Amino acid sequence: MKFAEQLEQIVKNRIEKDSLTLPTLPAVAFKAIELTRTPEFNMQEVASLIERDPVLAAQMLKLCNSVAMATREPCKSISQAVSRLGSKNLRNTLLELSARRLFESHDPKVAATVKALWEHSRAVAQLAQRVAVVSGAADADTAYLAGLLHDVGKPVVATMLLEAESQITQRNPKLWIDFSTWMDVMQRCHRPIGLDLAKKWQLPEEIQKAIEECADYDPANRLSTGNAVRFANAVAKQQGIYAGPVSADDNDALVMVGRSLLNIDDETLTRLSSDLKEKSKEAA
Same domain, 142 and 197: yes
pLDDT of 273 reads 92
Contact 229, 146 (CB under 8 A): yes
Where does the pLDDT of residue 170 fall: very low under 50, low under 70, confident under 90, or very high at 90 and above?
low
In a domain, 2, yes or no: no
- pLDDT of 1 over the 50 cut: no
Amino acid present at 230: R
**Looking at beta carbons, which pairs linking 83-86 to residues 24 or more positions away fall under 8 Å?**
83/43
Show the domain range for 90.
Answer: 26-102
For the chain, the domain total comes to: 2
Least confident piece of the model among 62-76, 191-205, 244-258:
62-76
Look at 253 and 177; give whichever has higher pLDDT.
253
Contact 18, 8 (CB under 8 A): no
In a domain, 40, yes or no: yes
Where does the pLDDT of residue 108 fall: very low under 50, low under 70, confident under 90, or very high at 90 and above?
confident
Name every residue whose Cβ is closer than 8 Å to that of residue 51 and which is 6 or more positions away in sequence: 57, 78
Per-residue CA distances from 41 to 36, 80, 87, 254, 262 (Å): 6, 16, 9, 43, 37
CA 131 to chain centre: 17
- pLDDT of 259 over the 90 cut: yes
Highest mean pLDDT among 92-101, 124-133, 160-169: 124-133
pLDDT mean over 5-32: 78
Contact 214, 226 (CB under 8 A): yes
- pLDDT of 283 over the 60 cut: no
In a domain, 263, yes or no: yes
Same domain, 91 and 117: no
Among 143, 148, 149, residue whose Cα is nearest residue 200: 149
**Looking at beta carbons, which pairs linking 39-44 to residues 24 or more positions away fall under 8 Å?**
41/87, 43/79, 43/82, 43/83, 44/79
What percent of the chain clears pLDDT 90, i.e. is strictly above it? 28
In a domain, 188, yes or no: yes
pLDDT mean over 137-158: 87
Last residue of a domain, one of 76, 102, 128: 102
Among 131, 105, 133, 132, residue whose Cα is nearest residue 118: 105
- pLDDT of 219 over the 80 cut: yes
Same domain, 150 and 97: no
Same domain, 135 and 191: yes
Contact 142, 207 (CB under 8 A): yes
pLDDT tens digits, one per residue of 35-85? 888 888 888 999 999 999 988 899 888 888 875 555 667 888 999 989 888
Same domain, 97 and 116: no
- Helix 108-135 to helix 225-238 angle (10° resolution) is 130
The SS3 assignment for 228 reads: helix
Average of per-residue pLDDT values in the chain: 84
In a domain, 19, yes or no: no
Same domain, 255 and 164: yes
pLDDT tens digits, one per residue of 86-100? 888 888 889 888 888
Contact 159, 25 (CB under 8 A): no
Last residue of a domain, one of 102, 127, 153: 102
Same domain, 86 and 125: no
pLDDT of 3 reads 62
Which letter does DSSP use for residue 23 in this model?
A: P
Same domain, 94 and 158: no
